[in-house]
Amino acid sequence: MFSNALIISFTFGYLALLFAIAWFSERSASKGRRLSNHPAIYALTLAVYCTAWTYYGSVGRAATNGLEFLTIYIGPSLIAPLWWIVMRKIIRISKVQRISSIADFISSRYGKNVTLGGVVTIVCLLGILPYTSIQIKGIASSFQILQGSGVTETLANLPFYQDTAFYLALGLALFTVLFGTRNIEATAQHEGMVMAVAFESIFKLIAFLIVGVFVSYFVFDGFTDIFSKAVAEGLDHLFVMQGENSASEWFWMSVLSMMAILFLPRQFQMGVIENTNERHVDTAMWLFPLYLLLINIFVLPIAFGGLVHFPIGNYEADTFVLAFPIAFDQKWLAILVYLGGFSAATGMIIVSTIALSTMVSNNLVMPLLLINDQFQKRYQHRLGLVLIWSRRVSIFLIILAAYLYYKQIAGQFTLVSIGLISFVGIAQFAPAIIGGIYWKKGARIGALVGILAGFSIWFYTLVVPTMVIAGYISEVLLNEGLFGLGFLKPQSLLGFSDLSYISHGLFFSLTINSILYVVISIFSQQTSKEHNQAIIFVDIFRYSESLDTAIVWKGQAYVPDLRVLLMNFLGVNKTDDALQDFVKHTGKKLDDKIYADPELVNYSELLLSGIIGSASARIIVASVVKEEEISMEEVLGILKEARELKSLNDQLEINSKELQIASEKLKSLNESLQINDMLKDEFISTVTHEMRTPITSIRAFSEILLDQDLPEADRARFLEIIIQETKRMSRLIDQVLDLERFDSGRQELNLENSNVDSLILEVIDSMKHIFLEKGLHFEYNLINSNVLIQMDQDRIKQVLLNLLSNASKFANSKVILKAKITESHLLISVSDDGKGIPEEELPYIFDKFFQAKNQTSKKPLGSGLGLAISKKIVEYHHGTIEVRRILNYTCFEFTLPFAQSKMKIIN
Amino acid sequence: MNKILIVDDEPNILLSLEYLFKKEGFKVFIARDGEEALDLISEIEPELVLLDIMMPKVDGYEVCKHIKEEHTNIKVVFLTAKSKQQDIQKGLNLGADLYLTKPFGNKELVSKVKNLLN
């Protein structure tokens, strides 16, 4: 019906379109616009679940088994609401631990164990290979039908170099290599590939809906027409659940597909590794089931329509979808449907192969190579290259192996049956994973034995029969059991023959697997590393935010060693970037010490985990780190501490941050207002009190002076007192005004370069007679330097006079003035040998009117403002003043810094 | 002759009061702080004490309290710069007979003291 050239050019045209989409999205992402960062895209990529099996096979299955085909879609839809719990947890673990595949996930959970990772990889390879090959079968057979040859056998028997399917497989491998192995970090998202897969999901859905509408409304007269004709043909048994065991059959199939949607390598790749945001799961929870519903609406109509319309034997039911457009001569519709099937198949092949190649490189190749010291030495600087090429080569090998499998075996089975066998293989991971993320006791050895046992039973009950049918093994095994033992018949173990072939295999493999996993785990002892991982996995939501700071390495490593290690995989630039990131986030410096911080070791291991998988990363980091065994208690302690701190902080922050800030502001405002108010009140009342004293004397004596018969001597004496008291008052007023100017910041200094020694001498000159009068011994020294210091001479003199006059009031016999200069300061101290200031009063000594308020100390002459003003003056010079008791001396000491640039200068 | 004790820490105020009351015919004793006053009171047993409040060592309130507890017949007149209502109240509550604020008029002070003694 179509020429080969036309079909091939459409096929490769479609591939070119995929290339274009992938290339465009990668370019857009490199400019910072990530198209894939959208929940709808995420949901669409999950639809990679719908392969050629869905596209062609559902109709085929419905044509023979009726409604049962739906189980594979009911399972995922039923479990979708649980994704919020399960999937989100797996995603969070994978992001935090930089998990690169499902093998890595399991290996990481059970102590980053190499063996387990390898076993899971091999199980995946063996389980998925047939599945991949049926995709090639789907492409090949649709291709043939489009050609019009109609006979499936012919093409499969051609030598490979004449087989179009072979070249298509190579094309797919090339695409996968180009868009799947660009980045060495397996955890890095494949933007181009994701967008291509999302496009394919839309394309296959639209193609299927169009053909569905065509069959239902153009070939037939709507659903009712099809169903009534089907009833007339005696097909009504397909409308209902069939037979005695149908209920258990539905149950087992749903369980199977629930596990498949989570653990198939391609689903894990799309759902977990390529996930850009946990919240996208929300949308996928309803959008993905909706997608499944849409793509299944027309399955039954097409199946029954095909059964009604086509004579038996003309077309395989698997190909009804394509047969209708051809039979009704709708060329373009036929091409569209073919391409839809092609997109369904290629989506699966591409994603599965990327996932598998990551597992092969990270969980098989790398560990094997790294265990070999010789190899590690020889290739240590090219490990990155080895890694990426092992991925590329394995992509080609996997696709070629799938092609070979298709040529040899797959041709003989329906799409669905092989798909289901793969599902059961993958389901063997369920106990280890589900147990691993909810049960801390789940142990490595239990997981390993469970998976191996389940896998063996899977092979024996499900794969062996297909090999018998394909003619590789004698039929005797099927009919009489292994060693002729009837209870070992592959399809009816222990005589169980009530279940269908698939359910039987699933039941036995999964049951034995689960029992072994649980029982062995209970009776085995975890190592501390394993236990550590178990806690992280199970309690991921508690720990994920504190993990960065919780250090579970204990040992010594050298920074240069780690740097070299990272450079081998990341290259110089990315390594530098990564280390700079580390420095920025932790605030720790790297260069000034040779020993690496445990946090850096951890960070390096995580970085490498993203590239070569956790088990390999552990091996390679261990090669440069002298690690000590860390006890379980230590690990728990660290994690708990980090967590508690974190949650405590969070709570405090969340609950009371804003409230606290607001109330604190108010409080401090209120407080400072109150204090201000109080101080002002107190100041005024003290000032007025201090003023009343001289006024009282003045008034009293003035009234006395009014008396006419006052002796002349008294009159003179009283007048002298009045004058003294008047002076005292005006001094007080001056000082109050001084202080007020300093307080309000309106005081200005008259700065000039001053000779310190001459200033000191001037002050001493005016104090000398007072010391003499009081019989005090006075000692002083000069700085003996011509250095000029900027200061307001009058003000500094005022300070010195105040200190000296205070000293003279309190001294017993001696006053000492010392001056010296340091590199940056002038330092002057005044000491007296008086009884000193009580310790509890020291903090208040510079307060205004302090001595006036203080009732119990001896009241000296003076206003009580001298020290307060002195302090202000020194502070205005950016200096400090303090008082302390040294031996038996009370020592006031003030400093003046040389640099005075910030001061106001007048004149 | 009336015996009067004048307590103040300001020498000039003390001098003026001493001059004033001597001239009015009082027998005048002086104390420069509360402690000195307490010592003198039991010794000289004055009829009236003219008392400042803000003084070193023992303040006027303490002195007044002591007098009113131990020597109920001695009259106490506060003569102070503290003029706030709560200070006045406190002084009167302690049993003072009169509360006068500084500055004062000489004649007024003398006549109030005399009134109190008669």
- Which ipTM score applies to this complex? 0.92
Res. A311: pLDDT tops 50:
yes
Check B81 against A692: CB less than 8 A apart.
yes
As a residue count, chain A comes to: 907
Domain harbouring B15, CATH code: 3.40.50.2300
Lowest mean pLDDT among A168-172, A847-851, B7-11: A847-851
Q: Which of A855, A857, A859 to mutate against chain B (most B CBs within 10 Å)?
A: A855
H, E, C per residue of A113-163: CHHHHHHHHHHHHHHHHHHHHHHHHHHHHHHHHHHCCCCHHHHHCCCHHHC
Residue of A nearest to B23 (CA): A704
The domain tally of chain B equals 1
Residue closest to A262 by CA, chosen among A417, A82, A398, A418: A82
Q: Looking up tokens 């995603």, which residue turns up? A: A91
Q: With contacts defined as CB-CB under 8 Å, which chain A residues touch B83?
A: 692
Check A704 against B12: CB less than 8 A apart.
no
What residues contact A901, with CB distance under 8 A and at least 6 apart? none
Task: Compute the count of residue pairs across chains A and B with CB atoms less than 8 Å apart.
Answer: 64
Q: Average the pLDDT over A256-285 and give the result.
A: 88
CA distance B62 to chain A (A): 12
Cα(A821)–Cα(A836) distance, rounded to whole angstroms? 27
Q: With contacts defined as CB-CB under 8 Å, which chain B residues touch A692?
A: 81, 83, 102-103
Q: Are the CB atoms for A101 and A359 separated by under 8 Å?
A: yes
CA atoms within 13 A on the CB side of A735: 24
Check A855 against B15: CB less than 8 A apart.
no
Q: With contacts defined as CB-CB under 8 Å, which chain B residues touch A700?
A: 13, 16-17, 20, 103-104, 106
What residues contact A71, with CB distance under 8 A and at least 6 apart? A249, A250, A253, A254, A257
Of the candidates A693, A703, A856, the beta carbon closest to that of B81 is on A693
Residue of A nearest to B106 (CA): A700
B69-82: per-residue pLDDT in tens?
Answer: 988 889 999 999 88
**What pLDDT score was predicted for residue A549?**
45
Q: Are the CB atoms for A219 and A429 separated by under 8 Å?
A: no
Cα(A514)–Cα(A506) distance, rounded to whole angstroms? 12
CA distance B115 to chain A (A): 20
Res. A669: pLDDT tops 90:
no
- Does the CB of B11 have a partner CB in chain A at under 8 Å? no
CA atoms within 13 A on the CB side of B16: 32
Q: Are the CB atoms for A52 and A348 separated by under 8 Å?
A: yes
H, E, C per residue of A664-689: HHHHHHHHHHHHHHHHHHHHHHHHHH
Residue of A nearest to B59 (CA): A855
- Does the CB of B22 have a partner CB in chain A at under 8 Å? no
Q: With contacts defined as CB-CB under 8 Å, which chain B residues touch A688?
A: 81
- The residue ranking higher by pLDDT, A272 or A575, is A272
Of the candidates A685, A688, A721, the beta carbon closest to that of B12 is on A721
A348-360: per-residue pLDDT in tens?
Answer: 988 899 899 988 9
- Does the CB of A614 have a partner CB in chain B at under 8 Å? no
A565-587: per-residue pLDDT in tens?
Answer: 777 777 777 788 888 887 777 77
Cis peptide bond N-terminal to A76, omega within 30: no
Q: Which residues of B35-63 are buried (b: 16+ CB within 10 A; e: fewer)?
A: ebbbebbeeeebbbbbbbbbbbbbbbbbb
Here the tokens at position A421 are: 């066998």
CA A722 to chain centre: 83
- The residue ranking higher by pLDDT, A501 or A215, is A215
Q: How confident is the model at residue A486 (pLDDT cuts 50, 70, 90)?
A: low
Q: What are the two backbone dihedrals, phi and then psi, of residue B113, each rounded to the nearest 5 degrees?
A: -65, -45
B2-60: per-residue pLDDT in tens?
Answer: 899 999 988 899 999 999 999 999 999 999 888 899 999 988 899 999 999 988 778 89
- Does the CB of B103 have a partner CB in chain A at under 8 Å? yes
Q: How confident is the model at residue A630 (pLDDT cuts 50, 70, 90)?
A: low
Check B12 against A724: CB less than 8 A apart.
yes
Cα(B65)–Cα(B51) distance, rounded to whole angstroms? 12
Cα(A490)–Cα(A321) distance, rounded to whole angstroms? 34
CA A79 to chain centre: 26
Res. A747: pLDDT tops 60:
yes
CA distance B59 to chain A (A): 7
Cα(A406)–Cα(A400) distance, rounded to whole angstroms? 10
β-sheet bridge partners, residue A891: A831, A884
Q: What is the CA radius of gyration of chain A?
A: 45
- Does the CB of B62 have a partner CB in chain A at under 8 Å? no
Residue of A nearest to B81 (CA): A689
Of the candidates A689, A721, A855, the beta carbon closest to that of B59 is on A855
Q: Looking up tokens 């591409």, which residue turns up? A: A350
- Does the CB of A907 have a partner CB in chain B at under 8 Å? no
Q: Where are the domains of chain A?
A: 4-406, 548-630, 634-744, 752-897
**What pLDDT score was predicted for residue A366?**
84
Check B102 against A692: CB less than 8 A apart.
yes
Domain holding B71, by residue range, is 3-117
Q: What angle do CA A687, A690, A693 make, to 5 degrees?
A: 150
Rounded to two decimals, what is the model's pTM?
0.59
Q: What is the homologous superfamily of the domain A752-897 according to CATH?
A: Histidine kinase-like ATPase, C-terminal domain (3.30.565.10)
Q: What are the two backbone dihedrals, phi and then psi, of residue A555, each rounded to the nearest 5 degrees?
A: 155, -170
Check B102 against A693: CB less than 8 A apart.
yes
Q: Which of B102, B110, B111 to mutate against chain A (most A CBs within 10 Å)?
A: B102
Looking at chain B from residue 68 to 87, which residues have their Cβ under 8 Å from any Cβ of chain A? Answer: 81-84
Check A856 against B56: CB less than 8 A apart.
yes
CA atoms within 13 A on the CB side of A431: 32
CATH class of the region A4-406: mainly alpha
- Does the CB of B2 have a partner CB in chain A at under 8 Å? no
**What pLDDT score was predicted for residue A907?**
33
Count of other CB atoms within 10 angstroms of residue B24: 15
Which residue type, as a one-letter code, is found at position A700? Answer: A
Q: What are the DSSP calls for A365-383, one per residue?
A: IHHHHHH-HHHHHHHTTSH
Q: What are the two backbone dihedrals, phi and then psi, of residue A765, each rounded to the nearest 5 degrees?
A: -55, -45
Count of other CB atoms within 10 angstroms of residue A754: 18
β-sheet bridge partners, residue A889: A886
Cα(A451)–Cα(A177) distance, rounded to whole angstroms? 30
Which residue type, as a one-letter code, is found at position A367? Answer: P
Q: Which of A691, A695, A697 to mutate against chain B (most B CBs within 10 Å)?
A: A697
Res. B107: pLDDT tops 70:
yes
Q: What angle do CA A690, A695, A696 make, to 5 degrees?
A: 95
Cα(A132)–Cα(A422) distance, rounded to whole angstroms? 10
Check A704 against B20: CB less than 8 A apart.
yes
A218-237: per-residue pLDDT in tens?
Answer: 888 888 888 888 887 777 77
Here the tokens at position B19 are: 């001059």
Of the candidates A700, A855, A858, the beta carbon closest to that of B16 is on A700
- Does the CB of B35 have a partner CB in chain A at under 8 Å? no
CATH class of the region A634-744: mainly alpha
What residues contact A707, with CB distance under 8 A and at least 6 apart? none
A796-807: per-residue pLDDT in tens?
Answer: 998 999 899 888
Q: Average the pLDDT over A638-666 and give the result.
A: 68
- Does the CB of B110 have a partner CB in chain A at under 8 Å? no
Q: Are the CB atoms for A573 and A125 separated by under 8 Å?
A: no
Q: Average the pLDDT over A331-352 and give the result.
A: 89
Cα(A552)–Cα(A598) distance, rounded to whole angstroms? 8
Check B102 against A858: CB less than 8 A apart.
no
